Amino acid sequence: METKPSEITIEHQPTPEKLQKLGVYSWDIWMKEASKFPWKYDSQETCYFLDGDVIVTPDKGQP
């Protein structure tokens, strides 16, 4: 069975209402030094970046 490539959606500067609806204000904060590592998602995930930079490259995809 062939899998569909991951879809990554980037939303810049979401409104406070959108963040409230997502429940962002109650999420745990994950801090990580600069690094490169593989990551596998078993389901859809939403991330909200407070600071820093990230490059995500899906399998067989573009960064």
pLDDT of residue 22: 92
User: Cα(61)–Cα(54) distance, rounded to whole angstroms?
Assistant: 15
* pLDDT at residue 2 greater than cutoff 60: no
Using one digit for the tens of pLDDT, what is the confidence trace for 18-45? 999 999 999 999 888 888 888 887 888 8
pTM: 0.61
CB 6 within 8 A of CB 58: yes
* pLDDT at residue 60 greater than cutoff 50: yes
User: Cα(56)–Cα(63) distance, rounded to whole angstroms?
Assistant: 5
